[in-house]
Structure 1
Amino acid sequence: MPRGKAGTAAPARKPRAPKGPKLPAPFTRGTVLQDLRKKQWKLGDEVGKGGFGLIYLASEDLGSPMTSTAEHVIKIEPHSNGPLFCELHFYQRVSRPEMIDNWVKSKKLKYLGVPKYIAHGMHQRDKENYRFMIMPRFGTDLQKIFEGCGKQFSKETVLALGLRMLDALEYLHENGYVHADIKASNILLGFSSKQQQPDQVYLVDYGLALKYSPDGSHKPYKEDPRKAHDGTIEFTSTDAHKGVAPSRRGDMEILAFCMLQWLCGKLPWEDNLLDKDYVANSKIKYMKDIPSLTRACFRKGEMQDEISKFLTLVSKLGYEEKPDYNKYRALFHEGLKKLGVKDEWKLNLPIAGAPLKKGIKRKSELGAEASSPKKTAVEKVRGTPKGHATAGSRQSTPKLSAKPRQGTPKTTRGRGTPKVSSPRVHTGINGEAVTSPRKSPTKVQTVKSPVKSPAKGSISKPSSTRRKVKRSKAPKVDACVQTSPR
């Protein structure tokens, strides 16, 4: 940079742009991409977006119009990015269809929850190069289902999910890889015959997948503060918090944390995820004392023998030790047997339409729970105590207007005018003006309409007539590939 004239400072340098993956500009619907085997694929609608790039529906039938029932997707990222490049190498080495089919046959499985590699290629647009990969389409992710049912799965569902994840992880480990980022948002429902498969789950997103024995021998245990806390903070292993390379032990520990959250709803260290050292120290402390961990998660004293035993076995694993997958399976099978479950392949996930909690009886509300926003502060439905909204519930209820009905006199209080009990106007959670009656010692079971002001000096009584409100039907759940930012 040349120096400025005498008495003047040299111009400041422009700051460098932060390094990291960048998203490509959207691709036009109908764009045709050609993979390395010269097979062409037509792009449909965008169905996902991550830190690496975009995901589109894809069809190999170029002559027919694109529909929302396409059974393939294409991941696209700029060639300068890296996540999809790493994931692509994993798929080519581990997820070839013949490899997965042979494993399923040898282990006598119904399916394996690992996606199959289909094809990949390069594409140029506006003098910029892009990398893409074709893979099977999947349904919604487990995280959305978990949140939609009140953040708690039944023990039956958790043990069945644990079995399917054990199958997938054993396959990865036997082929020299670890996943390192197991979580509900990376577990997707299957998709086949133009619809979701509620009893199939697949472990996806191999951007952090790593070979734990690149030269035939396991990587040594070595802590590196520069790599500390890699992965998803609430689930990542205690080794990852210390900067140690991912291992099979780490995958088992992450799976145990996931199953624990699915059972109890919230992990003890989730109250302060911004403090990574606090999270790390909490996990290290609890993994040395499993009974204290289960007590912190299940404060009502529920018996959770299977997850407690699983955590205990995982806590005793050596860094380079091979997990005893069959022992873990036997533990989960025993738990399912106690529950009277005969078919371990049935997940019994609480997907759209299932009630969130006891006491909710309206059929019109059950179908809308997955898509409606939080209740306003004055929604009063049958089964809700004391006429107050339950925080976080997803019932569909009508919006109430603060504007009085035509013909209803406006109640004012001037000098010498006695105080009259009338509806209060305030702002609901969603920002709209709503009305609610003044506090009453009795429970409110129905939505009341505003009433006319009574005679001077008298106390108003709510009308016994119910308001007729047209309720909208819940939208259908669109099965598509879901992605989440890392």
Structure 2
Amino acid sequence: MAAPLNCELVQLKEGEEIGKFAVMKKLGEGGFGAVYMVKDKDNDELHALKVESMAEPLQMLKLEVVVLMELNRTERPRHFCEIFGKGQKHNFNYLVMTLVGKSLQDLRTTSPLRRFSMGTALSVGQQCLEAIMDLHQIGYLHRDIKPANYTVGRRIIAEERKVYMLDFGMARKYIKDDGTLRNPRKLAGFRGTVKYAPIACHIQREQCRKDDIESWLYMVVELIRGHLPWRNISDPKDVGQKKKDCRKEKYKELFGGCPRKLMEVFPILDNGKFFDTPDYAAITALCKEAIVICGVQEFPYDWEQ
């Protein structure tokens, strides 16, 4: 998604202060805001600052704060950033959170073969699936699972083996306040990234928990192979059709070069209905079995060497 033409991105200068946090440098920007490295003036610790204009029609940062706050209240937020500050200043909302390392997307595309080793891909995939499960357990779907929305921790604090899930601006709560599941809408708009979106997105069907895992599977295949069969297709409808084909008679186009155990994920998902809890344990077990069968090691990860 791109920012509306009438909404300017928030730009902060080096040295500018947001509460007790001083801006060090810009780390990047997207359609709806920017990310900066900031220093806590009380203890010199480094964090990440996300900002979003109050004029932005889609207030994605507010949803991210809500989701992260709920995750931070859980007993063990294994794969999520900690919140160090939040609020409003001038014409923008801001969130101060854990400073993380490179995304899986950047790590893959800058690797010599543009893919991970089998051991790294399967091990990292398990961590990514754990994050999905933890998010689902607090009642939210992510709806934009992709390598760019996962990062590893910073090497300087010995977290280069830890995977973080990021960006909850497209998340949707699937559980009502009384604990019951929300009924699907008759028609749902496209949410996510075409390359990794589940088939449900392509047919405008309400997403459920197993759809996040379908996106996860596409991501893991790409981490292993370095590409997906629809990488050169631009039309979302054609991408959706290609995914349907790979789900059936052309499954080898998707899974060629991957452990056969990964082919067993789709049947697990297809056996589940809209309201069913996915069998996360069975899918994790398939990844573990694949590591053993392939005779590969999880560690060290590729970027540690």
- Fold agreement, TM-score > 0.5: yes
Aligned equivalent of 2:61, options 65, 84, 95 = 84
> Is residue 3 of structure 2 the alignment partner of residue 23 of structure 1?
no
Aligned equivalent of 1:103, options 56, 72, 76 = 76
Residues 133-148 of structure 1 aligned to structure 2 (within 5 Å): 133-148=95-110
Q: Which runs of 5+ in 2 are unaligned?
A: none
Report the alpha carbon displacement of residue 315 of structure 1 after superposing the two structures with TM. 3.0
TM-score normalised by length of structure 1 = 0.57
Which residue of structure 1 aligns with residue 264 of structure 2?
309
Q: Counterparts of 1:303 and 1:189 in 2: how far apart (Å)?
A: 23
Which residue of structure 2 aligns with residue 396 of structure 1?
none
Report the alpha carbon displacement of residue 120 of structure 1 after superposing the two structures with TM. 0.3
Q: Partner letter of residue 122 of structure 2?
A: L
> Is residue 79 of structure 2 the alignment partner of residue 113 of structure 1?
yes
> Is residue 244 of structure 2 the alignment partner of residue 284 of structure 1?
yes
Kept in 1, the 8 Å contact 2:246–2:253? The answer is no
Give the match's secondary structure for 1:271.
coil
TM-score normalised by length of structure 2 = 0.89
Q: Partner letter of residue 79 of structure 2?
A: G
Q: Counterparts of 2:43 and 2:116 in 1: how far apart (Å)?
A: 44
Report the alpha carbon displacement of residue 277 of structure 1 after superposing the two structures with TM. 0.7
Kept in 1, the 8 Å contact 2:117–2:302? The answer is no
Give the match's secondary structure for 1:319.
coil
What percentage of aligned pairs have identical amino acids? 23
Report the alpha carbon displacement of residue 76 of structure 1 after superposing the two structures with TM. 1.3
Which residue of structure 1 aligns with residue 253 of structure 2?
296
Alpha carbons of structure 1 residues 85 and 328: separation in structure 2 relative to 1, 3 Å: same
Give the match's secondary structure for 1:95.
helix
Give the match's secondary structure for 2:81.
coil
- Cα RMSD, aligned residues only: 2.5
Residues 327-342 of structure 1 aligned to structure 2 (within 5 Å): 327-340=282-295
Kept in 1, the 8 Å contact 2:268–2:279? The answer is no
Which residue of structure 1 aligns with residue 280 of structure 2?
325
Kept in 2, the 8 Å contact 1:46–1:55? The answer is yes
Aligned equivalent of 2:115, options 145, 152, 164 = 152
Report the alpha carbon displacement of residue 252 of structure 1 after superposing the two structures with TM. 0.7
Residues 60-79 of structure 1 aligned to structure 2 (within 5 Å): 60-61=40-41, 70-79=45-54
Kept in 2, the 8 Å contact 1:114–1:202? The answer is yes
Q: Counterparts of 1:248 and 1:260 in 2: how far apart (Å)?
A: 19
1:254-304: CA deviations, max 9, x gaps?
A: 0011111122222122221x21111112212322x1x622x11355xx462
Kept in 2, the 8 Å contact 1:266–1:297? The answer is no
Q: Counterparts of 1:337 and 1:71 in 2: how far apart (Å)?
A: 39
Give the match's secondary structure for 1:218.
coil
1:107-148: CA deviations, max 9, x gaps?
A: xxxxx1122222201112xxxx21111100001111111112
Aligned equivalent of 2:88, options 115, 122, 139 = 122
Q: Counterparts of 1:259 and 1:312 in 2: how far apart (Å)?
A: 17
Report the alpha carbon displacement of residue 20 of structure 1 after superposing the two structures with TM. 6.9
Structure with more of its chain in helix, by fraction: 2
Aligned equivalent of 2:23, options 28, 43, 46 = 43
Q: Which runs of 5+ in 1 are unaligned?
A: 1-16, 35-39, 65-69, 105-111, 355-486
Q: Counterparts of 2:246 and 2:254 in 1: how far apart (Å)?
A: 11
Report the alpha carbon displacement of residue 19 of structure 1 after superposing the two structures with TM. 6.1
Kept in 2, the 8 Å contact 1:238–1:283? The answer is yes
Q: Counterparts of 1:41 and 1:264 in 2: how far apart (Å)?
A: 41
Equivalent residue pairs, number: 299
Q: Counterparts of 2:180 and 2:5 in 1: how far apart (Å)?
A: 33
Report the alpha carbon displacement of residue 63 of structure 1 after superposing the two structures with TM. 8.8
Q: Counterparts of 1:118 and 1:63 in 2: how far apart (Å)?
A: 12
Q: Partner letter of residue 12 of structure 2?
A: F
Residues 223-262 of structure 1 aligned to structure 2 (within 5 Å): 223-224=186-187, 227=189, 229-262=190-223
Q: Partner letter of residue 172 of structure 2?
A: L
Q: Counterparts of 1:145 and 1:195 in 2: how far apart (Å)?
A: 18
Q: Counterparts of 1:322 and 1:271 in 2: how far apart (Å)?
A: 34
1:353-390: CA deviations, max 9, x gaps?
A: x6xxxxxxxxxxxxxxxxxxxxxxxxxxxxxxxxxxxx
Report the alpha carbon displacement of residue 178 of structure 1 after superposing the two structures with TM. 0.9
